[in-house]
Amino acid sequence: MAAANDGSRRRQGRVWLRDFWARWTGTRSFVVTAAVIFLMLALTGALHVTAAFVSFLLLAGVAVARAIAMGETAPIRIQSRADDRAPSAFAAGPALAILNRLPDALFVLDGGGRVVFGNSAAEPLIGKTALGRHVATALRVAPLIAAIESVMRDGVARTIEYEMPVPVERHFSAFVVPIEAEGAGDPSLYLVLLHDLTDAKRVEAMRADFVAFASHELKTPLASLSGFIDTLRGHARDDPEAREKFLEIMADQAGRMRRLIEDLLSLSRIELREHMRPADEVDLLGVVSDVADGLTPTAEQYGVEVIVTAPAGLPRIRGDREELAQVVQNLADNALRYGRAGKRVEISLTPDEKLGRPMVRLSVRDFGPGIAKEHLPRLTERFYRVDAAASRARGGTGLGLAIVKHIVNRHQGTLQIESEIGQGSVFTVLFPVAG
Ligand code: ADP
């Protein structure tokens, strides 16, 4: 109790000091100017140092005393600063605390358009010194100011959307509504509520891009299939050799569509489960061995040696076996497809640690052409490819690493990509140990 009282006294003290400092603006400039003048008089010898110092102290003392006296008789401010817990005519106590906890920015204007209240979330938008200033000087957003003016003119509430291009592009929805004080006929205050739409817009844009990319990826093989169907119905009808060749290309294109649809479904399934941590305990070496066995025919076809290394007694990790197999498969597939020129792919498992937490490190290294640095941060984006034609020629969908990233996130792991042009690439994933 005593501690609480102490805390409240300290807080009141801080508020008093801050108010005092704010009220003191004029006096402050006066004292600083006096200090400079007396210093110059002392330095030039026009006044003795002691006399200058005593005169300055006297003047400053009088100015401070006046500021304190003004503070005692000053009227209660009707504005409340966002972080101010002192009572105010506009909002106080629990109401103020509630307004300041709102995630959305909210501010109130008087009939003259001056800011009389702003909650904590409004501070970054209208600034710390907005109280008492006209809204147009606190927030330089023309469409919002126009909407506020319209509401002030006709008293009809409005909702508008606007964007702020700098410093980073942000989108807002603003709701402006007049508030009629009880008994008063005309609105005396105007509430402005700002809701940040930036994230929602970004997700919307990403979704639109994704659908556009996915349909484009599907449209190309589909167009090729339709073209060959027409050819087979037309002049290739009686040409068995051409028919065989075209059917082979058609099977290829159908395979491309199938892989793309499988990857799209896989991605959406993983996204749906991303917030649910997997419950099983998995032996990652078992997963890696199974995948490596499955890769043997391709590795032999490319003349690549796949080497798996792991120490004995590697701890199990908490995970979903099928998804972990997808991670190893996608990384090893890429190493084989893009790094086959290096003739060697190394898959290693080692115990590791991150922030004191035991982890298992999975590394897939190839000795192929490598990836230029500027591409590395974007490789896990959907449909991002360093060389789209090369990816398609190798049966790539552009979704493999996006799937890997989502699975790693679901497993609370981390993915790191390192590469040197001409040296090869290493894809490293850290998975937390089970338990
Ligand atoms: P894709 O289906 O095109 O392989 P991924 O998401 O798996 O899609 O990979 C994205 C891109 O990253 C690939 O198109 C390729 O350009 C590059 N990439 C991935 N792994 C490697 C690697 N081991 N070596 C060189 N480039 C790679």
| Three-state DSSP string of the chain | CHHHHHHHHHHHHHHHHHHHHHHCHHHHHHHHHHHHHHHHHHHCCCCCHHHHHHHHHHHHHHHHHHHHHHHHHCCCCCCECCCCCCCCCCCCHHHHHHHHHCCCEEEEEECCCEEEEECHHHHHHHCCCCCCCEHHHHCCCHHHHHHHHHHHHHCCCEEEEEEECCCCCEEEEEEEEEECCCCCCCCCEEEEEEEECHHHHHHHHHHHHHHHHHHHHHHHHHHHHHHHHHHHHCCCCCCHHHHHHHHHHHHHHHHHHHHHHHHHHHHHHHHHHCCCCCCEEECHHHHHHHHHHHHHHHHHHHCCEEEEECCCCCCCEEECHHHHHHHHHHHHHHHHHHHHHHCEEEEEEEEEEECCEEEEEEEEEECCCCCCHHHHHHCCCCCCCCCHHHHHHCCCCCCHHHHHHHHHHHCCCEEEEEEECCCEEEEEEEEEECC
Tell me which residue has its CA closest to atom 16 in ligand 1.
386
Instruction: Name the least confident of 60-69, 227-236, 255-264, 272-281.
Output: 60-69
pLDDT at 18 over 60: no
**Ligand 1 in reach of 400 Cβ (< 6 A):** yes
Ligand 1 atom 23: the closest Cα is on which residue?
335
* Residue 426 Cα to ligand 1 middle (Å): 12
- Residue 326 Cβ contacting ligand 1 at under 6 Å: no
Q: Ligand 1, residue 394: give the atom nearest the CA.
A: 4
Residue 231, pLDDT > 70, answer: yes
pLDDT band, very low/low/confident/very high, at 17 (cuts 50, 70, 90): low
Between the CA of 381 and the centroid of ligand 1 the distance, in Å, is: 11
Most confident by average pLDDT, 142-146, 237-241, 274-278: 142-146
Q: From the CA of 272, how far away is ligand 1's center (Å)?
A: 24
Residue 34: its pLDDT value, please?
76
Which atom of ligand 1 lies at the shortest distance from residue 384's CA?
10
From 391, 415, 426, the mutation candidate for ligand 1 (largest count of ligand atoms within 8 A of CB) is 391
Q: State whether the beta carbon of 232 lies less than 6 angstroms from ligand 1.
A: no
Please indicate whether residue 237 or residue 89 has the higher confidence score (pLDDT): 237
Indicate the pLDDT class of residue 73, thresholds 50, 70 and 90.
very low
Q: Which of 26-40, 194-208, 418-432 has the lowest mean pLDDT?
A: 26-40
Confidence of residue 62 (pLDDT cuts 50, 70, 90): confident
Reported pTM: 0.65
CA of 391 to the centre of ligand 1 (A): 7
Mean local confidence (pLDDT), 308-320: 96
Ligand 1 contacts CB of residue 346 (under 6 A)? no
pLDDT over 80 at 334, yes or no: yes
Is residue 66 predicted with pLDDT exceeding 90?
no
User: Mean pLDDT over residues 246-269, rounded?
Assistant: 94
Q: Which domains does the chain have, with CATH numbers?
A: 2-69 (no CATH), 93-196 (3.30.450.20), 199-272 (1.10.287.130)
pLDDT band at 96 (very low <50, low <70, confident <90, very high): confident
Confidence of residue 186 (pLDDT cuts 50, 70, 90): low
Question: CB of 262 closer than 6 A to ligand 1?
Answer: no
C-alpha 287 to ligand 1 mean position (Å): 22
Looking at residue 20, its pLDDT comes to: 54
pLDDT at residue 76 tops 60: no
More confident residue, 136 or 3: 136
pLDDT of residue 292: 97
CA of 10 to the centre of ligand 1 (A): 60
Is 77 a pocket residue for ligand 1 (Cβ < 6 Å)?
no
pLDDT, tens digit, 9 for 90 and up, residues 341-379: 999 999 999 999 999 999 999 999 999 999 999 999 999
Distance from residue 225's CA to the centre of ligand 1 (Å):
26
Mean pLDDT (whole number) for 240-248: 93
- Name the least confident of 10-14, 141-145, 304-308, 382-386: 10-14
Average pLDDT over residues 210-215: 91
**pLDDT tier, 31 (very low <50, low <70, confident <90, very high otherwise):** confident
Q: Which of 259, 267, 295, 334 to mutate to test the pocket of ligand 1 (most atoms within 8 A of CB)?
A: 334
Nearest residue CA, atom 10 of ligand 1? 385
Average pLDDT, the chain: 86
Ligand 1 binding pocket includes 338 (Cβ within 6 Å): yes
Query: Does the CB atom of residue 342 touch ligand 1 within 6 A?
Result: no
Q: Of ligand 1's atoms, which has the minimum distance to the CA of residue 397? A: 2
The model's confidence at residue 399, banded by pLDDT at 50, 70 and 90, is very high
Please state the rounded mean pLDDT for residues 194-218: 92
